[in-house]
A and B are shown apart, each in its own frame.
Chain A
């Protein structure tokens, strides 16, 4: 039957939620690292006992924690995130050059093949790599250095590299997304990069179709078809059929195409999920109804899924790293809210139940499918 372990990062600590394959009864452990902001926790796909966690505060900086026993115990590893060479500048909010300054790790992406190898997406936007279990980090500076870096500008949440996705069919192919620069691709394991934003249009920048400057919120793919990418942009839900060479809009009948999360069903590459948010100015669901929207056609035709979710007076947000899917036969979907709820569906989204109600604001949700 298998089981699942849900890794939850919040504003004030981390939590681990566990259940057997029915996903009806949950064991809640935590808080781990109480009082610290836990931007992201993620387990190695090939060694589920190996979990990496990003722990930070504005006061005390960045710590990386590692567990080798499935989250039962943790040990700090390296936190030396030093930009390669002279960091240079990017654009500040007022358009002036601003030195690259490390703030925190937003996202950790363990390797698909080696538990000791992990990528880290950081603010100010850059990509780092460790090949020794997080002890030492070096920048893959071809991303910042490919040419457009000096023109990148932060979004309201900072200039963060928040999405890292490695193609399961070609480990040399890495996708990354940065707010508010856009999407980028490497075909040589992170040495060289180029923007992949053709087809994106963003009203908030002078040239709506610029090569960079788009506020991408999240990119997802299905392992069986990694050339098809789905994107939740600041506004617009987008799709690419050619590994990001070009994008087209698939927002269709969504009540709002603003949002943060997007994810793909574990077994149906054309079934995708988003959580519409009212607007960039109003970060809660339309009409105060929390609804996941599912498309079984790879976009454009969407159905609301609200059974078990609050359908009145709900004013939470769902942040970009706060949705995940499990790999059990009946695909489970999970998402966390800024109101501290983690919702789970054990029937691919048809119905939902809150695993927990009152955590601190949820920053990230990942799920491990265990044997």
Chain B
């Protein structure tokens, strides 16, 4: 059971204001996690990853276990705490102020 926290805009989009719980088959990586997320909520296609290149959108960050995983390979296995559900996987919209 993978626990994913989405930014407010995406929570609004899927009408789900709590964490999202996913079942991910096979090795749990950014790619497999996001594939499962988009499969469960098709409206998220293109909102986290570019729909053509599948690369992380520029203003999106991935945090977990107090680590910034944004620049890790999408095929790296995620930390055990995320895989076990002990820790959440955060999809974050980069901060902008002014």
Contact = CB atoms under 8 A, between A and B. Distances in A.
Instruction: Tell me which of A58, A60, A62, A79 has the highest count of chain B C-beta atoms within 10 A of its own C-beta.
Output: A60
Given A79-B51, A80-B51, A82-B52, A60 B45 contact: no
A149 to B, nearest CB: 20
Contacts of A59: 7, 9, 57, 59-60, 93-94
A34 B93 CA distance: 16
A26 interface: no
A306 interface: no
A63 interface: yes
Contacts of B13: 60, 63, 76
A61 B7 CA distance: 14
Interface string B17-45: 00000000000000000000000000101
A35 B12 contact: yes
B12 A79 contact: no
A202 interface: no
A82 B45 CA distance: 14
A59 B9 CA distance: 9
A60 B12 contact: no
A4 B86 CA distance: 53
Range of interface residues on chain A?
10 to 19
A35 B17 CA distance: 14
Contact of B46 (A34, A36, A58, A79): A79
Instruction: Tell me which of B46, B52, B93 has the highest count of chain A C-beta atoms within 10 A of its own C-beta.
Output: B46
B10 interface: yes
Given A33-B12, A35-B8, A57-B9, A63 B59 contact: no
A76 B9 CA distance: 14
Contacts of A80: 46, 51
Given A62-B46, A79-B45, A79-B46, A36 B51 contact: no
B51 A35 contact: no
Contact of B9 (A36, A79, A82): A36
Contacts of B46: 61-63, 79-80
Interface in B68-98: 93-94
Contacts of B60: 59-60
A58 B93 CA distance: 10
Contact of A35 (B9, B57, B59): B9
Contact of B47 (A34, A60, A82): A60
Contacts of B2: none
Contacts of A79: 45-46, 51
A83 to B, nearest CB: 9
Instruction: Tell me which of B8, B48, B51, B93 has the highest count of chain A C-beta atoms within 10 A of its own C-beta.
Output: B51
Q: Which 8 A-B pairs have the closest CB atoms?
A: A60-B47, A76-B43, A59-B59, A59-B93, A61-B46, A79-B46, A35-B9, A61-B47
Interface of B: 7-10, 12-13, 43, 45-48, 50-52, 57, 59-60, 93-94
Given A33-B12, A35-B12, A61-B46, 5 more contacts: A59-B93, A60-B9, A60-B47, A61-B50, A61-B51
Interface of A: 33-36, 57-63, 76, 79-80, 82
19 contacts: A33-B12, A34-B12, A35-B12, A36-B9, A57-B9, A59-B7, A59-B9, A59-B94, A60-B7, A60-B10, A60-B13, A60-B48, A60-B57, A60-B60, A61-B46, A61-B47, A63-B46, A76-B43, A82-B51
